[in-house]
Structure formats: C-alpha cells, structure tokens
C-alpha cells in the first residue's frame, strides 16, 4: 500500500469515526436528555460557527505552510493576539469609538502588515540564529499576553477597549430571503467568504504550483531541494513570514467580528491559536482539511450559546455556560489522542545547514 493510500484510508476511517461519534452523541442527547435538536442546529448556529471558524482556519493555514516547509511555528497564538490588538488600535486611531466599515478593512490590513514585520524578526531568530522553535514560539505567546494588554492600558486605561465597530454582513436582495440557504450564503460576513477563498487558493498553491512543491520538499527532503538548486532557507523564510501574517490576519478577523478588544486573562484569542495548530494536524496538513477541523472546533465553541438559548437543562439544572465553553478544549484533547501520530514532514524542527 502506498503512502497516499495509507493516509487516505486512515482519513476515511477517522472521518467515519468522527461522524459515528457525532451521530451517537446526538442520539444520546435526543433520547436520554430530551434535547431539542432542531433548536440546536439553527441557521444562527451555522452562521456563528462559520464566523467562529474563520480566524482559526486562517491561522491554521499559516501554521501548516510553515510546518510543511520544516519549521514548527508554535507562536500562532501570540501572533493572533498581536493581530487582534493591532487591528483594534488601528481602528481606534482612525475612527475613535465609531470607526466606519472602510476603517475596519484598513485596520485588518495594518494588523497584517504589523504582524508580518514582527514575523520577519521571528523568522531571522528561528532560521539564521537557529533559535529553539518551541521556546521561541512560547515566547511570542508570552509577549502577546504581556504587550497586548499593555498597549490596551496605554490607549484606554484598562485592558479592554471600548466598543469599536464590527464588520457588516453583505446582503443580496431577494436571494437573502430564501429560507436557510439565503441567510447563510446571501447574508453573510464578507470575511467568512474571504476565508473560504483563502482556503481554496492556499490548497491550489500548495498542491498545484511549483512553489508549493518546493514548500513540501523543504520539509520532507531539504537535501534534495538543495541539490535541485533551490535555497531551502529562503523557502522557509517565506513560509514562516506567511504563517505569522496569516495568524495576525486571523486575530484581526476575530476582532473585526467581535468589535472590541478584550485583554483580560488569556485575552480574546483564548487558545484559538493552539486550536489552529490542532486543526491542521487533524486536517492532515491539508488546507481544506484544516478548515473543516476549524469548523468542528468552532461548532463546539458555539454550542454553549445554543444550550443557553434553547434552555436545555441537565438533571433539572441549568448547564453552566462556563463549563460548556470548555467543549472545544476537551475536543482538542480527544482529537490529539485519537489522531496523535500524524505524518509530520520528516525534517520539522531541524535547522537546515548547507554543506559547503
């Protein structure tokens, strides 16, 4: 059996397992706890899941590009935090507490530019100075946890921003009124559609272009790529910088949907960067797979709202929103346990040194 056969059969098997598990859970929910399913899987739920999945999917695609090329960018969470605070600060700088829609788009662009610049420094540390990839990635997270609330305090005197503005949905006349489909496809956040486009383009780029093959070779067989005359470290610089910018974009998109910055505790990013790493592992380093995994985790996250609004009780007691909010984290642990031994590119984590 070839490697491709092996991974695809494994994927089918695990995908089947996931579907069966979800089905069983739903059956238990309906039969044992008398949960009204139609009140859980509403149009609102689907839209919230799409919105929630976008930042995770964007960061995950960045992370998988870096890892495909042989660098583990564990700093995704940190770059997301920097993206979110930069977008908030830019929005506030341009439009005060009532920024316009163009201000939001500009703020996202500024956030991407800033995190891109930051990642250049990070990439130099990782590739030129051979910094420990895990420790440096953690450092980016810690810096985000410190500097983002620090910046918020300077701007607004507290670690939370005042209400800024969130992105408006586009709405196609008439079509938006089609039941279900209309309010999902024709009345949607433009950032969700944008994310979808990014997912597809990054899939095509990785699997159908020459540069995409170089990226894969840089992670799986850097020596062969070097022999073929391609500078391995140059490819890695490009993917690491791309990954930081994508995580920054994810953070900015998160902020553009939320409409204000929260810097308490683990900040508003709250583990999404870590979930993004698991999303691309689960998606087997495939952008489309990663996006589907992001949907799964976002869906788990949004369940808490459904349980609240559907007024579901367990043994006669309300289910705590705080406990329900832990579902994505539990989901991540389960996914890693079942799907732990992923087929990592063979040279991940090793600095590449050209032999003279």
Partner 1 sequence: MLDATVYERIGIAVGSTALALLISLVIVAAVGHDPLQFARDLIVGSFGSRRAFSRTLQFTTLFILAGVAVAVAFRAGVFNIGVQGQLIIGGISATLAIIWVAPFLPNGVGGGIALALLGLIAAMVTGGLYAAFPGVLKAYYGANEIITTIMLNFIAIGIVGWAVDGPLRPDDARSVRTDYLPDNVALPQLLFENPNFSIVGLAFALVVAIVISIVMTRTSLGYDMVTSGHQEPAATFSGVASKRMIVTTMTLSGMIAGLVGAIFAIMVQGYFIDPSGIGNYGFDAIAVSLLAANNPLGVVPAALLFGALDSSSSYVQINSGVPVQLIDGIVGLVVLFVAAPELFRMIAKRTGLGGDDR
- Name the token pair of 113: 């530019």
Q: For the residues of 129-180, what is the DSSP string, one character each?
A: S---HHHHHHHHHHHHHHHHHHHHHHHHSSSBPPP---PPPEE-TTGGGSTT
Per rule CB under 8 A, is residue 17 in the interface with partner 1? no
Give the contact letters, 288-327, x = binds to partner 1 (CB under 8 A), - = no.
Answer: --------------------------------x-xx-xx-
SS3 32: coil
* Site stretch for partner 1 (CB under 8 A), options 84-92, 139-147, 288-296, 306-314: 139-147
Rounded to whole angstroms, how far apart are CA atoms 187 and 179?
A: 11
SS3 302: helix
CA 135 to chain centre: 21
DSSP state of 355: -
Residue 314 belongs to what H/E stretch? Answer: strand 313-314
Per rule CB under 8 A, is residue 140 in the interface with partner 1? yes
Nearer to partner 1, 131 or 178 (CB): 131
* Site stretch for partner 1 (CB under 8 A), options 92-100, 176-184, 221-229, 275-283: 275-283
Which of 26, 178, 266, 288 binds partner 1 (CB under 8 A)? It is 266
* Site stretch for partner 1 (CB under 8 A), options 14-22, 94-102, 125-133, 176-184: 125-133
* Site stretch for partner 1 (CB under 8 A), options 174-182, 197-205, 294-302, 333-341: 333-341
Per rule CB under 8 A, is residue 135 in the interface with partner 1? yes
| Residue 273 main-chain phi, psi, to 5 deg | -65, -40
What is the smallest separation between the CB atom of 49 and partner 1, expressed in angstroms?
20
Rounded to whole angstroms, how far apart are CA atoms 24 and 136?
A: 41
Rounded to whole angstroms, how far apart are CA atoms 32 and 313?
A: 12
Rounded to whole angstroms, how far apart are CA atoms 171 and 177?
A: 10
Q: How far is CA 136 from CA 17, 84, 123, 139, 185, in A?
A: 36, 20, 10, 5, 41
Rounded to whole angstroms, how far apart are CA atoms 215 and 63?
A: 13
Which of 21, 264, 309, 346 binds partner 1 (CB under 8 A)? It is 264
Which of 67, 220, 260, 270 binds partner 1 (CB under 8 A)? It is 270
Which of 29, 109, 139, 348 binds partner 1 (CB under 8 A)? It is 139
Rounded to whole angstroms, how far apart are CA atoms 137 and 59?
A: 14
Q: Beta strands 313-314 and 170-171: pairing type? A: unpaired
What is the smallest separation between the CB atom of 272 and partner 1, expressed in angstroms?
11
Per rule CB under 8 A, is residue 106 in the interface with partner 1? no
Residues 45-84 within binding reach of partner 1 (CB under 8 A): 74
Nearer to partner 1, 150 or 194 (CB): 150
Per rule CB under 8 A, is residue 253 in the interface with partner 1? no
Which of 55, 70, 99, 149 binds partner 1 (CB under 8 A)? It is 149
What is the smallest separation between the CB atom of 166 and partner 1, expressed in angstroms?
25
Per rule CB under 8 A, is residue 191 in the interface with partner 1? no
Rounded to whole angstroms, how far apart are CA atoms 52 and 72?
A: 24
What is the smallest separation between the CB atom of 263 and partner 1, expressed in angstroms?
8
Q: Which residues bind partner 1 (CB under 8 A)?
A: 74, 125, 129-132, 134-136, 138-147, 149-150, 153-154, 159, 263-266, 270-271, 274, 277-278, 281, 320, 322-323, 325-326, 329-330, 332-333, 336-338, 340-341
């Amino acid at each position: 059996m070839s490697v491709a056969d092996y991974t695809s059969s494994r994927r089918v098997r695990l995908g089947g397992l996931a579907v069966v598990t979800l089905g069983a859970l739903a059956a238990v929910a309906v039969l044992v706890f008398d949960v009204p399913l139609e009140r859980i899987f509403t149009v609102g739920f689907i839209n919230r899941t799409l919105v929630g999945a976008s930042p995770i999917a964007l960061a995950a695609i960045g992370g998988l590009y870096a890892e495909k090329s042989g660098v583990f960018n564990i700093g995704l969470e940190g770059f997301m935090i920097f993206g979110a605070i930069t977008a908030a600060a830019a929005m506030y700088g341009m439009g005060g507490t009532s920024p316009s829609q163009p201000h939001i788009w500009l703020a996202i662009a500024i956030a991407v530019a800033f995190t891109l610049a930051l990642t250049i420094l990070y990439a130099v540390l990782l590739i030129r100075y051979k910094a420990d990839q895990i420790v440096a990635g953690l450092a980016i997270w810690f810096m985000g946890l410190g500097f983002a609330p620090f910046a918020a305090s300077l701007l607004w005197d507290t670690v939370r921003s005042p209400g800024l503005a969130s992105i408006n949905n586009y709405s196609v006349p008439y079509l938006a009124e089609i039941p279900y489909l209309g309010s999902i496809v024709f009345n949607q956040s433009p950032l969700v559609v944008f994310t979808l486009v990014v997912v597809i383009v990054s899939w095509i780029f990785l699997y159908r272009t020459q540069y995409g093959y170089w990226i894969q070779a840089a992670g799986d067989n850097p020596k062969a790529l070097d022999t073929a005359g391609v500078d391995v470290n140059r490819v890695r610089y490009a993917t690491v910088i791309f990954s930081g910018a994508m995580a920054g974009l994810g953070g900015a998109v998160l902020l553009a949907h939320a409409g204000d910055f929260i810097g308490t505790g683990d900040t508003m990013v709250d583990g999404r960067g870590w979930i993004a790493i698991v999303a691309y592992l689960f998606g087997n380093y495939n952008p489309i797979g990663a996006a589907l995994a992001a949907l799964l985790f976002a869906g788990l996250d949004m369940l808490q709202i459904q349980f609240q609004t559907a007024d579901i009780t367990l043994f006669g007691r309300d289910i705590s929103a705080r406990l329900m909010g832990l579902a994505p984290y539990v989901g991540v642990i389960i996914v890693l346990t079942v799907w732990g031994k992923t087929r990592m590119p063979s040279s991940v984590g090793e600095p590449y040194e050209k032999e003279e």
